[in-house]
Chain A
């Protein structure tokens, strides 16, 4: 067989212009912190410092919440939906216009392959604004009563795995429904949110409608616990989600939570195997496995387990791990040293508990945070790698004999975010969809996202849905 060598195909970083330091975006302008402290954000693929940003303190959060309140009372709640929508259309268009810049910046700050930020994150983020722009003047048709109202000020905290896309999932519906927002991007990935602030300025969005306060967990906590926040929206770990649920208990605050997952990807013997292998790879190695809905538990019907595994291992040998800015890269850098440590720890536990670890031969760069695509066979349901969210490129493989057993195993988790089903039999897809306790079920595909399609989990994967008509409920009351 001819082996094809890839020439390097690096995306240029000339399109982005990163300032040495950034303030907070409050009331329409970048401001110096009141009590926040500077910290550095690094490129996880090289460990080079990209710039300095601020960890907003309580006074910074307070200032942002007050700005959001003024904008809510004075401007945003008085605008007709059709005019709010025009701002969102503008934002969507500017995101499309500056797509390359956003994609390169995302890849620099996050470590994800440029192919993903360019083809998935940025177009979907723009589409999310476009879709919700259209809802702004149609809310009375959305099924929440004839004249649904916004909650007010939304405090939003988002993760580092899809920084710009998660921003879009939070900001677009909130604004479309008439809320104003204070958003805290993740500690390790603040840069596209700060560029988004600039986009809001270009769109002439009224000051205070969107406020961005960078920082880590403490900043997020200050935001979530602030009395002036009417609505909390969080995407991140189940552990923090539970803390937020406790913190809003007994208050007037509403909360939506999009938390962890341990999705089962179920492959039946009549599945199209090649297609399934592509879906398994996409399910767990897309975005380095930093995906809350990742298909991290592969359930193979025994009769095809060896065939699928052979094919899967062959396919993993083809994955290109390395420079995220290279357009041929499939798997990029792990987002942070802390996350890499967590992935290593759980993988070591997997081995220690008796599962068999396998990775393709692949050379990892010397600098930066890297972990090879990894799969574990001989995994039992009691193993920690089958129960806990690794949030990395680590797949646990289990087997089953009957559809009922597949359902039993798939649902044997405190999570319930997503699931995958692979079979050529349509009736079985729907039977499985009926039995699986998960908010999203993908059949003969995986990791599909669309602004029209509600996303969110059962059980400990969270509260509420994002996207689609159903997602509007998070920001409206009748």
Chain B
């Protein structure tokens, strides 16, 4: 035994502590995950069937080469512009409504609100009825959240018809539910001292919230709303495939008639729109100092808090101020552009349709499939989502590091030591290239990806999983790149200054703090992917989604309702697994 340094007295006969067990809870999850992926591969039939459709290779090649000569005729450009503006307007109005509804919903379903009321009533228990209503509201939000925008769109098309109103409502309902959940978490995580101080001096809960809580949570809420804008643009493009217009719709039409040059014009418009939205949102979020939250139905409140360190109120920042003004202008402009017929919502015909759809959906008809068929359909849906997660996870790890601006550029985590022009140029090229690729991957809606993949892959689970995986990679890669850009630099400096190699700095300094966030984002995305299996099902990728489409087209609403119920059940299970994985990660 060696002697100790300094003046510390220590029992030097101590034994080396026992190595912690190799099989811990984290390992257990990893083993379960790998087992699940192998099972999913088996289930997908990749070992049994031929996958690649060589006959479609020529078609795929023609599609790719068409990217060099998109349709630039004046007529088509005008159509593209109109479609782009339509998609943008869907997103703006949908999000605008969601933020308003989500804000009030978020306040009401927050624990803090209920607690404030209890305090205001002198610590008296709330009546059972109120409590029951509150819990009911939370559950309704969960259900609203777990049904994908496209399904909502199909429902509204049946009720209101092919009107912009359908698209707006389809977007606004799940988005409101997600925003309400996130806002309620922001409210519950905030510092409550000022709020309770006001409540205890006899001020009503609404006023106490206004003065004691909202000022604390405003930045986080604003930051998150702008993040949702990116998501809204992507969601609005997907909605097109049910026929309500916009870029997704036009791409779908051109795909059906194989007009490749037109598709590329539309795709370029989509890239541009998404790129601008992402740029705006990330610039603004950086100004707000708020960390990003993952997309989808989730928030990582623990890891995230907008820094409230700057002395000036954030709305005095020029970028923030201009953005708010611009956003405020976008809303009326979008209303004017789409001019949705709001009166239609309350017309006799709509109400009549609603009653008809409602009546024809009750009671849900589970006998449409046998128990075995139900199990098979669910298995395929879960297998598809697992494969998508595995694909996005593995490739996301590879793509997100080069997409971070502190990785290859000089002084970055993995930068070559010498700071000559060539390596800087190379670093910049890689950065721009990977970011561009990720943008393209997430700009194209998953069902469009599925259709494109069907050129070269036979229909089934694999193209569906790949389509979802590719799209998720685009979203995940960008989110994780932002996590990497916000890494604590100090441990990295320490490793560099002791002369560790680039690989050493990467594996000991950059990877360990990134991977828990990476996995929790991936788990959140899994929840999102499960929802989205429905929409690749629409283009024939199998599972519950595909049955849903078939049942919808035969107007068997009772069976549709049954499928939706099973589907929501699966979503719940996935949400539970996802949140307990994240909990394990936080604890160990």
Binding partners A and B: no
A residues apposed to B, CB below 8 Å = none
